[in-house]
Amino acid sequence: MSGGFTLCVSARGLATKQHWRDEKGVIYTSGYSGGLLWWFRESPPVTDFDSMAQVLEVLLDIPNAFVIRGEPKPGISGSDVLRLRRLRGPQATIDDMPRQWLYLDIDHVADAEIDVVARPDDAVRYVLDRLCRFAPELKDVSVFCQFSSSAGV
């Protein structure tokens, strides 16, 4: 593992949803306010799993940034504010980039025994066990898990 992560940083607003309850207990969700304008940053170097986890831990507290799998096309600098509407084709801003890590966004895992809020470690183990049933090559790999803003809502 070498290099770092490419970060996509919102030029305005958040890059995450927000959830809240009103006085009657009704849950409301607002979409991210980041909009269309973004710039790219490179994370600190990642040389092994521990340094990767350290970088990702810091990113947990930055609500206007997220990791992307690709990297900016040549000629795009960190000071360029860009629209990310085009992900493919000649006007795309991001090129595919092979990485030595796998990013999965897993939604809507339901089981009466799983409580993400009360027992998050059990919820992670439950999902990983199911993943390994379908992709046994993932058995015994190192994992960094992060719950989204929607987890437990």
pLDDT > 60? residue 138? yes
Q: Give the separation between CA 7 and CA 5, rounded to whole angstroms.
A: 6
* Segment 52-69, tens digit of pLDDT: 999 999 888 888 888 888
pLDDT > 90? residue 24? yes
Query: What average pLDDT does the segment 118-132 reach?
Result: 89
Q: Give the separation between CA 85 and CA 107, rounded to whole angstroms.
A: 23
pLDDT > 60? residue 86? no
Give the predicted TM-score (pTM) of the model. 0.73
CA-based nearest residue to 146, from 101, 104, 99, 102: 104
CB 34 within 8 A of CB 15: yes
Q: Give the separation between CA 106 and CA 92, rounded to whole angstroms.
A: 26
